[in-house]
Structure 1
Amino acid sequence: MSSHSAPVPDPSDGAPVEGVATAMRRSQRGSRRTPRRAAVGRRSFSPTMRALQELAEAGAQVSVHVSDLDTGRTVLEGDDHVPLPIAGLGFVPVLVETAAAMEAGTLDPLRIIDRSTDDIVAGSGLWRNLRAPALPMIDLAVLAAAAGDPNAANALLDAVGHEQVRTRMVSLGMPRSAVLDHFRDKRGPDDAPHVAVGTTREFARLFAGLVNSTVVDAGVSAQVSEWLSLNHDLSLVASATGLDPFAHEHDAHGLLFINKTGRDRGVRAEAGVLAGPRAGVAYALTVCFDDLSISHRLRAHDAFRVLGTDLMEYTH
Structure 2
Amino acid sequence: MRTQLRGEARGERASTRRSPRRSPGRSRSFATALAALDAVAAAGAQVSVCVTDLDSGETVLAGDAHLVLPVAGIGVVPLLIEVAAQIDAGTLDPLQIIERSSVAPVTVGGLWHRLAAPALPVRDLAVLAAAASDAAAANALLERVGLETVRARVEEIGLVKTALIDGFRDERGPDDAPHVGLASTGELVTLFAGLVNAQVVSPAVSAQVSEWLSLNQDLALVAASTALDPFAHDDDRHGLLFVNKTGRGDGIRAEAGVIAGPRAGAAYALIVCFDDLSVAHRLRAHEAFRALGLDLMEYVY
TM-score after normalising by structure 2: 0.97
Runs of 4+ in structure 1 over 6 Å off: none
Aligned to 2:101: 116
Aligned to 2:6: 6
Residue 87 of structure 1 pairs with residue 79 of structure 2: no
Contact 1:243/1:251 (8 A) holds in 2? no
Distance 2:16 2:90 in 1: 30
Instruction: Give unmatched runs, 5+ long, in structure 1.
Output: 27-32
1:174 Cα deviation after fit: 1.4
Contact 2:241/2:261 (8 A) holds in 1? yes
Distance 2:165 2:41 in 1: 26
Amino acid at match of 2:15: A
Aligned to 2:152: 167
Contact 1:39/1:314 (8 A) holds in 2? no
Alignment of 1:256-275 (within 5 A): 256-275=241-260
Amino acid at match of 2:21: P
Aligned to 1:315: 300
SS at match of 1:122: coil
* Change over 3 Å in CA distance of 1:148–1:42 after alignment to 2: same
Aligned to 1:144: 129
Offset from partner CA, 1:67-110 (integer Å, 9 cap, x none): 00111100001111111010001110100000000000111101
Amino acid at match of 1:63: S
SS at match of 1:240: helix
Aligned to 2:163: 178
Distance 2:210 2:24 in 1: 27
Aligned to 1:230: 215
Aligned to 1:25: 17
Distance 2:259 2:25 in 1: 17
Aligned to 1:277: 262
Contact 2:245/2:255 (8 A) holds in 1? yes
Distance 1:39 1:247 in 2: 33
* Change over 3 Å in CA distance of 1:298–1:181 after alignment to 2: same
Aligned to 1:30: none
Aligned to 2:202: 217
Residue 291 of structure 1 pairs with residue 276 of structure 2: yes
1:47 Cα deviation after fit: 1.5
Amino acid at match of 2:20: T
Distance 1:116 1:53 in 2: 46
Distance 2:300 2:238 in 1: 13
Distance 1:100 1:34 in 2: 35
Offset from partner CA, 1:263-315 (integer Å, 9 cap, x none): 00100000000001110000000000000000000000000000000000011
1:250 Cα deviation after fit: 4.0
SS at match of 1:116: helix
Distance 1:172 1:62 in 2: 26
Aligned to 1:34: 20
SS at match of 2:230: coil
1:53 Cα deviation after fit: 1.4
Residue among 236, 243, 250 paired with 1:251: 236
State percent identity of aligned pairs.
Answer: 61
Contact 2:217/2:231 (8 A) holds in 1? yes
Offset from partner CA, 1:201-247 (integer Å, 9 cap, x none): 11111110011000111100110011011110000000000100000
Distance 1:24 1:215 in 2: 23
* Change over 3 Å in CA distance of 1:158–1:118 after alignment to 2: closer
How many residues get paired?
A: 301
Residue among 91, 100, 111 paired with 1:126: 111
Residue 200 of structure 1 pairs with residue 192 of structure 2: no
Distance 1:64 1:39 in 2: 25
1:118 Cα deviation after fit: 6.1
Residue among 289, 292, 297 paired with 1:304: 289
Judge which range, 235-244 or 123-132, deviates more: 123-132
Root-mean-square deviation (CA, aligned residues, Å) is 1.3
Distance 2:108 2:150 in 1: 25
Offset from partner CA, 1:105-146 (integer Å, 9 cap, x none): 111101100003762112321000111000000000000000
SS at match of 1:76: strand
Contact 1:125/1:149 (8 A) holds in 2? yes
1:39 Cα deviation after fit: 4.6
